Structure 1
Amino acid sequence: MENIDIGKKVEKFRKAKGLSSRELAKLAEITPSMLSQIERGLANPSISTLKILAKCLDVPTFSFLLEEINTSHLVVRLNERKTMKVKELTYSLVSPDFTGNLATAIMEVPPMKSSSESPLAHKGEEVAYVLEGKIKVYLEEEVYVLEKGDSVKIPSHLKHKWDNPFEEKAVILFSVTPPVF
């Protein structure tokens, strides 16, 4: 909640609506100086004033309380990607981090390597897409060979394992919700 500036949001919505400070103050039945103080962060509006401002600006009241998002933190550059090695598998995080409801990563499985000894389950639901090579995926008791361009959905708590018995590395893009590792 530290990135919330109600006044800046009021000003942004006011300008987007094409209203002057005086016009909005009149519509909201507050003084122009009170609106100016709110917009400059010198006064905090009451909940009832926020509701009136929201109605005048035709926005939901909660929109004043949403944190600002620093969009530069949403971009992941190739050379800045976070990577980790688990055994001999490499995971490169495509999403910026594990916050939120979704994480996406690229898993590289070298030839003759597996993700685990036996199939494992976790609470996250996955969708995986083969970018390079081919790989065996174990889903409970079934085994499937996925090739470049193939994909698979793995429901939450379904035991699964990745195995690369082939001579070239396999590269798999996958998304997990909620993010679990």
Structure 2
Amino acid sequence: MKKGLELTAAIPGEDDVQTANPARLGVRLRLARQTRGMTLKALSDAANCSESLLSKIENGKASPSLPMLHRLVGALETNIGWMFEESDGEEGIIFRAGTRPLIALDPLRRGEGISLERIIPYSAGHLLQCNIHHIEESGESAGPIQHAGEEVGYLLAGEIELIVDGKSFMLAAGDAFVFNSELPHHYRNVGRERASIFWVNTPATF
């Protein structure tokens, strides 16, 4: 597999914010917020904006100013470039090997020794999120985290410990799992080689 691409983007300016697709930007904000388990009130307080305005932004009915967007991104500990990333691929259907982004540290799933190979782009047009989680030896996700949705995974290689709602499960290549995303969950590599998990989850309802 070719080396993946780091998630980089030019820092957007005020004009970029004003011309951005409000619906896409709102979807990204809501996804980031709910993945981190934050309520509207918690994020609005952290970003020093009103809850009603944040709700309008998430629903595509308003656009944030650039300073507000920076505050929101800072509170969510995500990458401002991700908020403006466009869908990729041949007509949004095919995503070729070697062209998919490989994110060394996904800001939505903080941890050590983890990279995500994005199978499909985050987009309002998809009901699913799908990545391959690559976990280096002794790597582990931050957590536990919990959010809306459902998780499904298949261990492609290696050995991991999956902890869901305080219960520990040891998985080897070929094992699969499914659980409600609202249950606290995290994982770590317990083997002596890199582990890879094909991971699908449903994000919050758009």
Structure 2 residue aligned with 1:163, among 188, 195, 198? 188
Distance in structure 2 (CA, Å) of the matches to 1:164 and 1:173 = 14
Partner of 1:45: none
Q: Which amino acid aligns with 1:103?
A: Q
Closer, same or farther: CA 74–148 of 1 in aligned 2, 3 Å: same
The partner residue of 1:72 within 91, 107, 113 is 91
Give the aligned partner of residue 175 of structure 2: 150
| TM-score of the aligned structures, taking structure 1 as reference length | 0.56
Query: Is 1:94 aligned with 2:130?
Result: no
Q: Say if 2:102 and 2:117, in contact at 8 Å, map to a contact too.
A: yes
Identity between Structure 1 and Structure 2 (%): 25
Structure 1 gaps, min length 5: 1-69
CA RMSD of aligned residues (A): 2.0
Check conservation: 2:139, 2:189, Cα contact below 8 A: yes
In the other structure, the counterpart of 1:104 is 130
Is residue 195 of structure 2 the alignment partner of residue 176 of structure 1?
no
State the secondary structure of the residue aligned to 1:119: coil
Report the alpha carbon displacement of residue 179 of structure 1 after superposing the two structures with TM.
Answer: 6.5
Q: Is the 8 A contact 2:156 2:197 kept in 1?
A: yes
Residue number in structure 2 paired with 1:115: 141
CA distance in 2, matches of 1:179, 1:77: 27
Q: Deviations over 1:72-121 (max 9, x none)?
A: 321000121022122421101112433321111100001111111x4211
Query: Is the CA contact 2:113–2:137 (under 8 Å) kept in the aligned structure 1?
Result: no
Q: Decide whether the 8 Å contact of 2:148 with 2:204 is kept in 1.
A: no
Structure 1 letter corresponding to 2:133? M
Give the 5 Å matches for 1:14-93. Answer: 72-86=91-105, 87-93=112-118
The unaligned stretches of length 5 or more in structure 2 are 1-88, 106-111
Structure-1 separation of matches of 2:115 and 2:90: 27
Separation in 2, partners of 1:165, 1:98: 33
CA distance in 2, matches of 1:150, 1:165: 15
SS in 1 for 2:170: strand
State the TM-score, normalized to the length of structure 2.
Answer: 0.49
Question: Deviation of residue 71 (structure 1)?
Answer: 6.0
Q: Secondary structure at 2:122's aligned position in 1? A: coil
The match for 1:130 is: 155
Whether the 8 Å contact between 1:103 and 1:179 is mirrored in structure 2 is no
- Deviation digits for residues 142-164 of structure 1 (CA, Å, limit 9, x no counterpart): 10011111011120211111111
Task: Confirm or deny: 8 A CA contact 1:98 1:179 kept in the other structure.
Answer: no
